[in-house]
A = this chain, B = another copy of it.
Amino acid sequence: MDATVALPRSNPLILRLRYGADLDAGDRAMLADLSRGRRTLEPQQDIVRAGDRAAGVHLVLEGYAFRYKLINDGQRQILGLLLPGDFCDLQSIVLGPSDHYIAALTACTVADIPQERVDALVFRDSRLARALWWATLVDESILREWLASMGQRSADKRIAHLFCELLLRQQLVGAAGERECPLPLTQPMLADILGITTIHVSRILRDLRLAGLIQLKDRRLLVPDVARLRAFCDFDPTYLHLVRMPDLGAAEDVVRIGP
């Protein structure tokens, strides 16, 4: 990491919450302050284990993490991907012991935020509380879209939809270009996201490549024609709730998110 301290400008949490509420400089300072106690994790290292009674909350600052559950005899379902600016387990302060695992997907840095500091934000300051609540509700909304995808979309559209989502979500925190982004997911992991086998993932990715919809190289995804991929899988970003609510103030610094 480079020597000149972490700038609020590039703080992924602040970037993420822009759509959740109209934060002033003081709010942003408080959020930036949450990112202080950072820690680096190896890929595959657990951040939260099912049953853990958390002493605090974790915030992803760099890299990817993911939620998962283990069903039956060790089958893994990945329940969500956590990008920079995403809280891992904000729910634990209210819900108690986690019902699922969270692990680093890539090498990543997370902030460990002590319980009291979160309590102070969530239960006392209503504007920041609202912003944080917004973030967890967007997570829930993504979960609903994944469930709908799993139930109703064919496997190829399911992958395409996931790629559209990841491209967009990474753009939001400045981690992606217009048409390409990091994609540190192996095929076994994609399989555990999509609920299909690794072998099937391989075949479908080949088909998408042959159809000219995507290119994969060096753990990066390139989408030659974003509009075409979106049309293919019927991608509608409404569920990411990136439109600021009118009564929350002027949207001075809203980022453009698409074509």
Contacts and interface: CB of A to CB of B under 8 A. Distances in A.
B130 A94 contact: yes
Contacts of A76: 152
Interface stretch (A30-38, A55-63, A137-145, A222-230): A137-145
A71 B152 contact: yes
Interface string A65-88: 001010110011101000000000
Contact of A144 (B69, B130, B138): B69
A95 B134 contact: yes
A77 B126 contact: no
A100 B151 CA distance: 15
A94 B137 contact: yes
Nearest to A154: B72
B99 A245 contact: no
6 contacts: A67-B144, A71-B153, A79-B147, A94-B134, A96-B241, A140-B140
